[in-house]
Every structure is written in C-alpha cells, then in structure tokens.
C-alpha cells in the first residue's frame, strides 16, 4: 500500500521525510476523501500492462510521456525542481506513475496541513484538479515517472494563491460534500 504522513514544519532539506515525532500516518481512505486516488501496478511491464491499459481506457488517459528526473539528464534541472516544489494547482488532474526511483507528492488536506505521499516504483496516483500540491525528489535524487493526461497535456501551474479559479472553487465545494 501507499505510505503517507503529516509533515513537520522544519525548514531542513525538503528531500528528507519530514515526519512528525511520533509519526502521524495518513490512510488511503483519508487521501481518497480529499480526491487523491492510488493504484499499485507492476512497473517492470509498463509497456504492455493490461492493468495500466484498463485504467487508461476507463479514465481516458490518452496521452503519456516519461520524464527522467536526474541532475545530469534533465535540462534546467534546478529551475524545474524549484518550480515543482512551489505550492501550486492545475486546471486538470495530475496523473503520475513511478516507473523507477522515488518521489514525494505533498498535498494540502482540508485544514491546510501538508500530507506527504511517498511514491515508489509501481505507484500510480491522481491528484484532483484544483488541489494545492507540490513535488520533490527524495534523498535518492532520482525518478523516472510516466505523466498521463486526458487529451492534449496542459502543464501550466498556478502558484498559490490561485483561489479565484473556478476549478479551485469546484474542488473546495466538492470537499464540503465529501
């Protein structure tokens, strides 16, 4: 299953886990409650995986690409890492499948606390449009991740505050009903 926890508020290297002491884990159920969904797949067979194909077909994830995040391989590495870690939202769902390495996705809960989601090989996650979130590598400094999208991808990120967007309003009201 997936591992997630509430973060401490120390300013130390954000690639470290930042667990509270004692740890306060967050369950999959709690993540679903804020619109975050998760699948475990076999990343070794991603090129011909019927389980992945089914998710893509059911949910209309027609687009995919693969991003390798590695200091020596990704152009403008430092700038991108900085951008990814700025708290932001998108107008569409963010769908990521870890093919190799590790990553953290941090999401805000309804009380505006940071939840850190530890993603490892085989983890596929969807963050709902309008949720505030950010991304970082872990101390292992490497991931290869598939990015999925419904139709033509739109990567534009709106840094917080972005409360004026309809999609943000929609997300916040969906939370009130959930």
List of residues contacting ligand KMT (CB under 6 A): 67, 69, 84, 94, 96, 135, 145, 147, 157
Here the tokens at position 89 are 């939202």
**Residue number with CB closer to ligand KMT (24 or 147):** 147
Chosen from Ni ion, ligand KMT, none, partner binding at 102 (C-beta under 5 to 8 Å by type): none
- Which position's Cβ is nearest ligand KMT? 135
Burial per residue of 5-19, b for 16 or more beta-carbon CB atoms within 10 angstroms, e otherwise: bbbbeeeeebbeebe
Q: How far is the CB of 28 from ligand KMT (least distance, A)?
A: 20
Here the tokens at position 1 are 């299953």
**Which 8-state DSSP code applies to residue 19?**
B
**Residue number with CB closer to Ni ion (94 or 123):** 94
**Residue number with CB closer to ligand KMT (28 or 74):** 74
User: 71: which residues sit within 8 A by CB, 6+ positions away?
Assistant: 77, 141
- Answer whether 64's CB lies under 8 Å from 146's CB: yes
Binding site for Ni ion (CB under 5 A): 94
């Amino acid at each position: 299953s997936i591992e997630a926890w509430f973060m401490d508020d120390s300013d130390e290297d954000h690639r470290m886990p930042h667990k509270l002491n004692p740890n306060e884990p967050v369950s999959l159920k709690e993540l679903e409650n804020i619109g975050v969904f998760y699948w475990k797949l076999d990343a070794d067979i991603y090129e011909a995986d019927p389980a992945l194909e089914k998710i893509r077909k059911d949910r209309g994830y027609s687009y995919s690409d693969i991003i390798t995040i590695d200091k020596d391989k990704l152009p403008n590495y430092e700038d991108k890492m900085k951008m990814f870690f700025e708290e932001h939202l998108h107008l569409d769902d963010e769908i990521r499948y870890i093919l190799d390495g590790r990553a953290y996705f941090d999401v805000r809960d309804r009380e505006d606390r940071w939840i850190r989601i530890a993603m490892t090989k085989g983890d596929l996650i969807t963050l709902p449009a309008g949720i505030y979130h950010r991304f970082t590598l872990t101390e292992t400094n490497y991931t290869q991740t598939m990015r999925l999208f419904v139709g033509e991808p739109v990567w534009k990120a709106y840094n917080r505050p972005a409360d004026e967007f309809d999609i943000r309003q929609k997300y916040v009201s969906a939370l009130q009903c959930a």
